[in-house]
Amino acid sequence: MTTAKSKILFYIGVILMISTVVLGEFIQDSVETLGLKGYMEAGPEENKFFMLFFAFGFPLGIGLVMVASIMSGLGSKTTIRWFLATAFTGVFLTLLIHVVLGTSHSPVYFGVGGVIIMALIIAYAWYWSAYRAGLDDKLRRASDFQAMGYLCFALAAWNLCGVGSIPGMAMYPEKMLTLEPRFFAVAQLKAVMAFFVLGWLFTVIGVKQFITASKTVNHEQ
pLDDT (tens digit, 9 = 90+) per residue, 108-158?
Answer: 878 888 889 999 999 999 999 888 888 888 888 888 999 999 999 998 888
- Residue type (1 letter), 116: I
CA distances from 9 to 1, 61, 65 (A): 10, 9, 7
Q: What is the pLDDT at residue 103?
A: 66
- The contacts found for 212-221 with CB under 8 angstroms, 24 or more apart, are 212/138, 212/142, 213/136, 213/138, 213/139, 213/141, 213/142, 214/139, 216/138, 217/136, 217/138, 217/139
Span 178-208, pLDDT tens digits = 767 666 777 888 888 999 999 999 999 999 9
- Give the residue-averaged pLDDT of 86-98: 73
Residues in the chain: 221
Rounded-to-integer distance, Cα 73 and Cα 10, Å: 13
Residue 107: pLDDT above 80? no
Integer Cα distance of 209 and 105 in angstroms: 43
What gap in Å lies between CA 192 and CA 202, rounded to an integer? Answer: 15
Q: What percentage of the chain exceeds 70 in pLDDT?
A: 84
Q: Can you give the pTM of this predicted structure?
A: 0.75
